[in-house]
Amino acid sequence: MKKNASLILGIILVSIIIAVWVLSFAFMPYNPNEMNIPSKFLKPDFSSEHILGTDNFGRDILSRIMYGSRNVLLVGVGSVTLGTLIGIFLGAVASMFKRLGNGIIMRVMDGLMAFPGILLAMMLVTVVERGIYGSIIAISIFMVPVFSRLVYSMILDTENLLYIKAARSYGSSKVQIFFRHYIPAMLPKLITQFSSSIGSAVMIETSLSFLGLGIQPPFASWGLMLSESRQFFLVYPYLAVAPGIAIIITVLGFNLIGDGLNDILINRRSHDE
């Protein structure tokens, strides 16, 4: 039972974020971009109209957090989905056409892996337009090598197993084998990687936004809110609390789900008995 503690906690945390996201479409206390200078820097107060307070422009922080969840989830889930699909495709192509694969595709992946941390994403946002779609493209390219390597190595590991040989011997095409046999065999690892990758994608998105290279003002993003609060947080530290906690809940949630799935789907026994 305690084996799944991380999965359960992760699901709870991610549910909170998804609930906030859903609520942002149904009910938002204020317009997140509406400025109201007279009521700026209101401290968080649960009995007042602005539960989490207001920022330097008098914008309601709760509404901005809620609106920000849309961008964060869109970029996080969108970029990882895109990266996964491209990664699976490239990994599969590389394993089917070994010479092209090992010679070109996997070498390019090695090259992409040599970019540390957010350097690759930063280099890519120089080229693409800054904003939601720019961030999605930059982060998805960051994700591609992880997934293509995973798929490539898993296919190499399984291609000599009997059931694959059998499928080949009765004339299944490479594409058929891929969808019917490889994909189901790879699914546990892919799902696990997918979940933890969302955690890191959210982290990269907020870092990019914090540096001013991601989502652009006046739109709300948690990283951007933190970056905007930098000038004022020595006097009004509460400005940094809500976006920080929102980021932590999201990243922790997806990481924990990844860990929990890893324990259940992959290392069934190796973990604590």
Binding site for another protein (CB under 8 A): 6, 107-108, 110-112, 114-119, 122-127, 199, 203, 206-207, 210-213, 223, 226-227, 229-230, 233-234, 237, 240, 243-244, 247-248, 251-252, 255-256, 259, 272
CA dihedral 151, 266, 140, 146 (to 10 degrees): -50
For another protein, give the closer residue by CB, 30 or 79.
79
Residue 32 or 253 with smaller CB distance to another protein: 253
Cα–Cα dist 150/177, whole Å? 17
Within 8 A by CB and 6+ apart from 267, the residues are none
In the bound complex, what is the minimum distance in angstroms from residue 170's beta carbon to another protein? 37
Cβ atoms 80, 140 nearer than 8 A: yes
In the complex, the smallest distance separating the C-beta of residue 177 from another protein, rounded to whole angstroms, is 30
- State the nearest-atom distance from the C-beta of 267 to another protein, in Å: 10
Phi, psi of 213 (to 5 degrees): -105, -5
Task: State which residue, 88 or 125, has the beta carbon closest to another protein.
Answer: 125
- Helix (H) or strand (E) segment spanning residue 46: none
- Residue 112 burial (CB < 10 Å; 0-12/13-18/19+)? middle
CB of 168 to another protein, least distance (A): 30
Q: Least distance from C-beta 63 to another protein, angstroms?
A: 20
Which of 122, 185 has the CB closer to another protein?
Answer: 122
